[in-house]
Amino acid sequence: MFRLPSVRRPTPLIYAICCHQLNVVKLLVSLGADLKRSIYSWHPIHFAAAVRDVEILDFLLNSCPDEIEAVTDHQVLYLIFYATPLHFAVTANCVEMVILLLSRGANVNHANSDKETSLHMSMVLFDTQIAKILLAFGAKSESLNARKMTPLQVAQQRNNQVMIDFFNNVASNPKLIPSKEKILKQFPVTLSVNSDSATSSITAEPAADPEAIIEHLDILSQRLSAVEEAVGLTD
């Protein structure tokens, strides 16, 4: 039921994730949905991070903890590959997801196929909060991508003055980077969906438009392509 013959359409689980239907996700998992079944090399957890659904991400982490380091294992549609959920959470500019993943032990310095770390990817944002959180959890500010560029140099290449100023005035001074404990107090992780209640309280809702999910994924693809170009993954 869950292993569709064609990977050109989302599985029921991935469809439910992209439609933000937590109760449906719980039900499918309780029925044996494969949490490692990939579509275009994206696992369900990547889709949860990409669509910024913190509750579903939390549930998936509880259901299959080792998926926290799941990587997009080959290049099919997108140029971001060998990327973890943390990479997706950063490019989605979602502080809550970044905190959730890091608090569960995500590798802050994992590099994708172009040696881009999450800190490199945060350089396209115009909000320093995520970069500060990554540094608090041990992100290496001098790590080099495949083009031998540090995160600061990526910001300079993109003329992102917000991040340039952040590196020059804050990141360069360890005393200005908060501790992990302070970050977790500031952003307490209060989720943790009980997987035992996966079949409880299934609310009947109108079915999502079947065409909407395809349109949503197309928009997501365009947004990720823009991020890839911004961090220098394309020529």
Q: And the tokens for 39?
A: 């579509």
Least confident of 10-24, 35-49, 153-167, 218-232: 218-232
Alpha carbon 101 to its chain centroid, in Å, reads 9
| Average pLDDT of the residues of the chain | 80
Position 37, amino acid = R
In percent, how much of the chain has pLDDT > 70?
73
Tokens of 209: 């438009």
Mean pLDDT of 139-144: 95
Give 59-95 pLDDT, tens digit per residue. Answer: 999 999 999 999 887 554 444 568 899 999 998 899 9
The mean per-residue pLDDT over the stretch 14-41 comes to 92
pLDDT, one tens digit per residue, over 147-159 is 999 999 999 999 9
What is the CATH architecture assignment of 12-193+223-230? Alpha Horseshoe (1.25)
C-alpha distances in angstroms, 227 versus 78, 100, 121, 152, 231? 11, 22, 8, 16, 6
Q: Is the pLDDT at 192 greater than 70, yes or no?
A: no
What is the DSSP secondary-structure string of 34-80? Answer: -TT--BTTB-HHHHHHHTT-HHHHHHHHHH-GGGGG----S-SS-S-
**How far, in Å, CA of 73 to CA of 90, rounded?**
19
Only one residue has tokens 């991070």, namely: 49
**Burial state string for 123-160 with b = 16 or more CB within 10 A and e = fewer than 16:** bbbeebbbbbbbbbbebebebebeeebbbbbbbbebeb
CB neighbours of residue 94 within 10 Å: 21
